[in-house]
Structure 1
Amino acid sequence: MDSQADLADILAGEPERIATGFQFTEGPVWHSDGYLLFSDIPANRIVKWTPDGKTETFREPSGNSNGLTYDRAGRLIACEHGNRRVSRTEPDGTITVLAERYNEKRLNSPNDVVVKSDGSIYFTDPPYGVSEAERELDFQGVYRIAPDGTLTLLIDDFDRPNGLAFSPDEKSLYIDDTAHRHVRAFDVLEDGTLANGRILVDMAIDAQGSPDGMKVDTAGNLYVTGAGGTWVVSPSGEHLGTIVTAELPANCAFGDSDNKTLYITARTSVYRVRLKIEGMKTF
């Protein structure tokens, strides 16, 4: 199955473009106050979109932010692609650096991030935003920041680790491997580390795009931006169908008051599509 026509039990409408004119959109995240934030990476800013169709600059410069999310206290967590760090915005607007170095070496270029219910933060660190000469680490890691701030390397054998998301019960963590064009699943252990890595779905088909961003709905389905559009994948790894937008997607996020709208960042634009299934909430 390879089209949104196969997604009758999931889609409640057709994708529509809601904003355009950007350089490269990424990292969408919905705020419970009723607005969407997303990164425009080359423009070095975070953009705020409201349901009246208006956009405004939320933060500039943004450190060439990429992935965005919120922690359980509603604080913005950002992968600052250009600054090579993960940051948190405090209620008073000040920015706290959560991770910048591993074993005294600068991170590559933090890309995407997810927060577990216990407050721990998981992020990926491919080298997209750094030249080979500037790299200090000889691997591309997946990391965990514990609630006490301790940074732990979890996995180091990815080639362009990218989007990541937990299953609804948080017993599994899914991670995109962009270069290998597949999504891996890992068991999440009691101490927050990962085990039993395996390929959940292979996206190496004859279509433009590789796995990039990812989110999970309350039924456990994965929404993975990649080859030909946004793939909807069952918890067992079955490709249920693809949500096709006019531009190749990079990331997605659930939003609106019922969390049944999927917002998709795609190159110069942002799209949305209504769903019949509720997405997992950020906070």
Structure 2
Amino acid sequence: MVVFTPSTVVPLAEDESNMNRAQRVHDLGGAFGWGRVPYDPQEEPFHEEWERRVFGMVFQVLPHTAVRPGEFRYALERLAEDDYFAPDGYYGRWRSAMEVLLEEYGHVETGELDGRLGAPSGTSASYRVQSPASVDEKDLPPDSSAPVPEHRTVRRELDRNPGFRIGDRVVATGNTAGGHTRLPDYVRGVSGVVVKIHPAEVLPDSTAHGLGERPQHVVSVAYQARDLWGEGAEEKVVINVDLYENYLQLEAEAQ
């Protein structure tokens, strides 16, 4: 298992690329200095037996804690840097997020898990986690009613057309509300082209904070790699990123 640490990040000059602006510990997509992502097609899905158990436990814990779309991911995002980059890696973060949610939902008392496991007091990630951000509803798009399907899904049917069309040049500028977002920082402010319109989905920037569904159409935007990462990027490589439409503006209106 490869463990990445913040010490491997090499900062760029501000004008060299769009990759050095990651504002949150989890927002590493496109961030400079992390090297190639190792890939082994023969790699096992779990490196240790405890990882397999954590994977199974998540599906037992989440129905009693993170019941809103985006809530579990937001718990991961709020972990302290030392916990997020701990040597136990991906499933270690899942375990830490479960500890946080179990305490925040009142299923266990603060420090109870440390005691049960015989760990020193203060070991649990819940001691260091950031509190949920206070998000002002005025910074989110208006809520709109949409029929809720009988089966479990985040998709919704909207009675309005998407705000963009295929071929539009757009720039991602939101979310400015703080808290949880699905907008990767490396595409902010970069011009791209709409290539597909997906069905609408509930907005996790809102649902993760218990502020309603506020469903949005999902827009697939194509970015040229060199627009994102400068002349050192591979030529003629295009990156498609699915974004909620409230993140976007027409390029002509964003200038």
Q: How high is the TM-score relative to the length of structure 1? A: 0.25
More helix by share: 2
What TM-score do the two structures reach when normalised by structure 2? 0.27
